[in-house]
């Protein structure tokens, strides 16, 4: 029979639902909160989820949004609540929940909902592309998502002013509604036909870099932009270049004025370096869910190695790197050596250090990266860190304090 995940913070409800569904022959997995539900979802790959709305850590609707954003809403989800509202039920259904059950749940209603849910299971259901909503625990990415949505609420055209390390694709994917088309206008130079736009109704049109568009592609962009309202579409374009530079490449100033009317400069990967481990982990999970790579996980050391690399190619380069690691690693866990062997060692000049700073400031940044790297590598062992750096322990503590690197009692104990 089916594997069903029951998520509820009340142990009595978990046990009752579990007993009923086990009697029906189903395999049951239990989770008491959102954190446990995430882990169970990843490990068990359930056929259906019964998800409570009100939980102490993260509410069920937020967890549903997270699964939808990171491509993990590949199974039917039935929401449950003892004091839900119509608005909550509507929102959950809009996000992707199959239906809503009010507690106390009548036996026949429960069994009927489970039967309907399992009847909806589709083989090889591909996850939707990753969006910013997949990183709900990242403050910078959460704020970026809010800004984009606020802009998209009032404008169908958004221009992203990007540079090396661009997050343009991730930003654009965040504005693509679940189940709607994605049309990259840079992929074809053939005249854009109305039938193509009609086929992409309610979808998102995208251009990764304006300066690379040929004259025919520029005409296609204008053709599509004039019909966004008619087809219920949004347009996201990105560029590293100023309007005057684009004019030199043949762009019409009037078209550029329309494109640059609403713009945003999202952070680069280098500016949100601390978020790279979370982004890489979600990318890997997404590839595993899509069955594009074997089941793999990134070790802490590998994540730190990815964090310390420069990513001039941005989100696309990071995605390609994670996929290469997952396909090229022989063990289930991807280690730091795998990063070095498969992606190449990172020269010190490519660490993304700001070389235009005064020497003292640049040295402080390097020293901070250096000590954080070795603290991570040695698990906070201060004795080994002192041996590696050649610094006396008192001097080492003083140096770490100057650099703003926290060394707690746990690290001291490891080194004693």
CATH at residue 365: 1.10.10.60
Vertex 81 angle, CA 77 and 87, to 5°: 85
Provide long-range contacts, Cβ within 8 A and 24+ apart, for 253-260: 255/218, 255/221, 255/222, 258/157, 258/225, 259/157, 259/159, 259/210, 259/225, 260/159
Same domain, 257 and 145: yes
DSSP secondary structure string for all residues of 41-95: HHHH--SEEEEES--SSS-HHHHHHHHHHTT---S-EEEEESS--HHHHHHHHHH
Vertex 280 angle, CA 276 and 284, to 5°: 175
The verdict on whether omega for the bond into residue 104 sits within 30 degrees of 0, i.e. cis, is yes
Same domain, 256 and 298: no
Same domain, 138 and 247: yes
Contacts of 377 (CB under 8 A, 6+ apart): 301, 304, 336
DSSP secondary structure string for all residues of 329-341: -SSSEE-HHHHHH
> What per-residue confidence (pLDDT) applies to 87?
78
Q: What are the Cα distances from residue 414, in Å, to 378, 389, 407?
A: 10, 17, 11
| CA 81 to chain CA mean position, Å | 28
Same domain, 141 and 187: yes
Q: Confirm whether pTM is higher than 0.75.
A: no
Q: If you ran DSSP here, which 8-state letter would residue 214 be given?
A: -
**Do 24 and 111 form a contact (C-beta atoms < 8 A)?**
yes
Show which of 119, 142, 170 is a domain's final residue.
Answer: 119
Q: What is the pLDDT along the chain (416 residues), one digit of tens a residue?
A: 799 999 999 999 999 999 999 999 999 999 999 989 988 998 888 999 999 998 888 889 989 988 887 778 888 999 998 876 677 878 888 888 888 898 889 999 999 999 999 887 654 456 678 889 888 788 999 999 999 999 999 999 999 999 988 999 999 999 998 778 999 999 988 999 999 999 999 999 999 999 999 999 999 999 999 999 999 999 999 999 999 999 998 999 999 999 999 999 999 998 999 999 999 999 998 888 888 899 999 999 999 999 988 888 899 999 999 999 999 999 999 999 999 888 876 544 444 555 666 777 777 777 877 787 777 666 677 877 887 777 877 778 888 887 878 765 444 444 44
Vertex 37 angle, CA 32 and 40, to 5°: 115
DSSP secondary structure string for all residues of 329-388: -SSSEE-HHHHHHHH----GGGS---TTS-HHHHHHHHHHHHHHHHHHHTTT-HHHHHHH
Q: Could you tell me if residue 270 is inside a domain?
A: no
**Do 220 and 191 form a contact (C-beta atoms < 8 A)?**
yes
Same domain, 137 and 161: yes
For 50, the domain range is 3-119
Which run of H or E residues covers position 157? Answer: strand 157-161
Number of domains in the chain: 4
For residue 135, give both structure tokens: 């990183």
- Our CA dihedral for 370, 372, 375, 380, rounded to 10 degrees, sits at 150
**How far is residue 77's CA from residue 96's CA, in Å, rounded to a whole number?**
8
Same domain, 335 and 213: no
Show which of 203, 232, 264 is a domain's final residue.
Answer: 264
| CA 141 to chain CA mean position, Å | 9
**How far is residue 388's CA from residue 201's CA, in Å, rounded to a whole number?**
60
- Report CA Rg, the chain: 25
Q: 288 pairs with which residues across the strands?
A: none
| CA 26 to chain CA mean position, Å | 32
**How far is residue 300's CA from residue 228's CA, in Å, rounded to a whole number?**
45
Q: Could you tell me if residue 353 is inside a domain?
A: no
Same domain, 343 and 366: no
Same domain, 233 and 288: no
Q: Is the dihedral of CA 72, 75, 78, 80 positive or negative?
A: negative
**Do 95 and 85 form a contact (C-beta atoms < 8 A)?**
no
Same domain, 365 and 390: yes
**Residue corresponding to tokens 């070095």:** 340
| CA 349 to chain CA mean position, Å | 28
Same domain, 177 and 285: no
First to last CA, the chain: 54
**How far is residue 45's CA from residue 48's CA, in Å, rounded to a whole number?**
9
Same domain, 143 and 227: yes
* Letter string b/e over residues 86-98, b meaning 16 or more CB atoms within 10 A of that residue's CB: eebbeebeebbbb
Which of left, alpha, beta for 43 (phi over 0: left; psi -120 to 50: alpha)? alpha
Which run of H or E residues covers position 308? Answer: none
For residue 103, give both structure tokens: 């507690």
For residue 341, give both structure tokens: 């062997």
């Amino acid at each position: 029979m089916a594997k069903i995940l029951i998520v509820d913070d009340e142990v009595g409800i978990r046990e009752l639902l579990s007993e009923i569904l086990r009697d029906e022959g189903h395999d049951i997995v239990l989770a008491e909160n959102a954190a446990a539900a995430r882990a169970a979802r990843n490990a068990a790959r359930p056929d259906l989820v019964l998800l409570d709305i009100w939980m102490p850590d993260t509410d069920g609707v937020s967890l549903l949004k997270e699964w939808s954003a990171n491509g993990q809403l590949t199974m039917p989800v039935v929401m449950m609540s003892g004091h839900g509202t119509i608005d909550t039920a509507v929102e959950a259904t809009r996000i992707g929940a199959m239906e809503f059950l009010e507690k106390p749940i009548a036996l026949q209603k429960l069994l009927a909902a489970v039967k309907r849910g399992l009847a909806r299971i589709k083989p090889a259901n591909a996850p939707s592309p990753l969006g910013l909503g997949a990183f709900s625990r990242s403050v910078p990415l959460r704020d970026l998502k809010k800004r984009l949505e606020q802009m998209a609420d009032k404008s169908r055209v958004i221009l992203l002013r990007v540079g090396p390390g661009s997050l343009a694709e991730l930003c654009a994917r965040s504005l693509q509604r679940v189940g709607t088309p994605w049309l990259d206008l840079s992929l074809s130079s053939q005249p854009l036909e109305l039938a193509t736009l009609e086929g992409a109704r309610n979808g998102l049109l995208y251009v990764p870099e304006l300066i690379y568009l040929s004259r025919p592609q520029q005409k296609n962009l204008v053709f599509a932009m004039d019909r966004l309202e008619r087809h219920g579409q949004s347009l996201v374009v990105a560029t590293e270049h100023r309007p005057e530079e684009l004019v030199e490449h043949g762009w019409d100033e009037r078209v550029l004025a329309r494109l640059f009317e609403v713009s945003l400069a999202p952070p680069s990967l280098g500016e949100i370096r601390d978020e790279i481990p979370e982004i890489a982990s979600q990318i890997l999970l997404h590839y595993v869910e899509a069955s594009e790579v074997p089941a793999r996980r990134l070790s802490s050391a590998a994540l730190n190695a990815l964090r310390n690399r420069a990513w001039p190619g941005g989100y696309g380069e990071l995605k390609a790197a994670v996929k290469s690691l997952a396909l090229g690693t022989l063990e289930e866990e991807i280690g730091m050596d795998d990063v070095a062997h498969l992606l190449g060692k990172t020269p010190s000049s490519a660490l993304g250090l700001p070389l235009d700073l005064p020497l003292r400031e640049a040295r402080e940044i390097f020293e901070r990266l250096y000590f954080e790297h070795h603290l991570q590598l040695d698990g906070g062992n201060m004795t080994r860190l002192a041996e590696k750096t050649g610094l006396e322990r008192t001097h080492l503590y003083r140096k770490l304090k100057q650099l703003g690197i926290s060394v707690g009692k746990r690290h001291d104990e490891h080194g004693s």
